[in-house]
Amino acid sequence: MTVMTNQQPAVYFNYVAGEWTESASGEKLESHNPATGELIGYSQKSRVQDIEQSIDSVCDTFRKSDWSCNPKRRYEALLGLAHKMENHIERLARILTMEQGKTMRESRQELAGCIDTLKYFAGAARTVFGRSVQLEPANLGVIVKEPIGIVGIISPWNWPALLMIRELAPALAAGNGVIVKPASLTPAISVEIFKLIDEVPHFPKGIVSIVTGPGKSIGAAMGTSEKIDMISFTGDTSTGKTLMELATSNIKKLALELGGKSPNVLFEDANLDKAIPVIGRSIFISAGQICMAGSRLLVHESIKREVLSRLTRYAENLCVGNGILETTDMGPLVSQNQLDLVEGYCQIGRSEGTIVTGGYRLTGKDYDQGYFFAPTIIDNLTSDCRVVREEIFGPVLAVQTFSDEEEALTLANDTEFGLSAGVWTENLNRAMRLSRGIKAGTVWINTYNKNFPEAEFGGYKQSGLGRTRGVDGLLEYCETKHIHFEVEEQAD
């Protein structure tokens, strides 16, 4: 099943001031393939000194270059990076799969999303519009959008390429200087993309930097730095709360995309032939390690038996294995810690509900080399069960039943999160009522997990602050300034 590549582990450096540099400590972090246990690379175990040097470098380039006031240059730079990624997509997909564990199909999908996002924000760089307001006969207000300044991006390990580019592209399009701190589990794909940035001549050397290392030290240093004007973070809610506290050092702006516990609400008139595979994919894609995973299924009581039967068949027919194989449908979890976490939640589900399928680590033969877990469905759970309420970040679907629309809406909103939701019904009026009533940043109707760079994404409640993608995503990285003109009357 699994494939050992026997490649020499790569060494990845920080990118600071347009140069590839070793960390001050000289220490390295290891990256391992979660499917095979292979050592695939080393990255820099940076210290606070390294991030401070990076911040100083970006500040200096931002001050001296024309980047902030040259939208055409920014357009050419982002478009150039998109073309570079297109030319290297298969190589990058292989690196992403070996480092994170997801299937090659998912890696190609993620990288295609990066390219699309870069192209969209390349165009947006040339359309950062303000407005003018005639205030009085002799007074004119000009409202301009300016870059915030220096942005720190802390990106996650689950979709490490797309969730970095999703923030990097609008931050650069708006004219900011940027420092990226990728997740320590998946630094390779981020640094590989920065190697392509280094080849695009339209990027001023030093306007963008990447520093790898532990979040508790260098991520915290970014949060407290008085030279960083904004932090963009994608990850768990508890870390987001910590960053909010750290950001009070200079009242820096925050953009946070945090946890989710998203429901698919399945009514009795839904098209099950379409819904079942989409709902299954919404929870088992990337082994459930995705913030918008459809991790709760709210199903009408009249169709529950049929739905569970179909979903069980879907889950049990998935080919779980090494993502590098084109026949694999679901890869491993990213680490032993994540595997232990998912196993713990399934123990809770077993004691408080009913395991319909899965609920165990896959073992034997090549499975023993990686962190593989069976696609899992748990039924008969109460609303106060941790499996229902907490983000698991694994291939575990929690099932609840409702009897009418009012109960469905109550269950959908009975969560501290509000990132996304799906509603499945042929009744247009019901779809509109539910989409307005559910407190989530995105509600999909008769589909799920459809994302486009043109359309904003973000969370309600403890799922985050601000919006990414679209016009709002660009404006997140802008300051608004009022320039006021008073015109003197011409003397007679």
Catalytic residue positions, numbered = 257
What is the identity of the amino acid at 371? Y
Backbone angles phi, psi at 277, to 5 degrees: -65, -35
**In angstroms, rounded to a whole number, what is the distance separating the alpha carbons of residues 314 and 318?**
7
For residue 313, the SS3 value is: helix
**In angstroms, rounded to a whole number, what is the distance separating the alpha carbons of residues 369 and 228?**
42
**In terms of DSSP H, where are the helices of 44-186?**
48-64, 71-87, 89-100, 104-124, 162-173
Q: For the chain, how many helices (H) and strands (E)?
A: 15, 23
CA distances from 274 to 360, 395, 402 (A): 28, 20, 21
Answer yes or no: are the C-beta atoms of 138 and 487 closer than 8 Å.
yes
CA distances from 190 to 151, 209, 261, 458 (A): 17, 11, 27, 22
**DSSP symbol at 247:** G
Burial of residue 298 (CB within 10 Å: 0-12, 13-18, 19+) is: buried
**DSSP symbol at 487:** P
Q: Which helix (H) or strand (E) holds 435?
A: helix 428-437
**In angstroms, rounded to a whole number, what is the distance separating the alpha carbons of residues 414 and 340?**
27
Q: Which helix (H) or strand (E) holds 121?
A: helix 104-124
Backbone angles phi, psi at 105, to 5 degrees: -60, -45
For residue 283, the SS3 value is: helix
For residue 253, the SS3 value is: strand
Q: Which helix (H) or strand (E) holds 411?
A: helix 405-413
User: Could you tell me which of 419, 457, 392, 422 has the C-alpha nearest to residue 260?
Assistant: 419
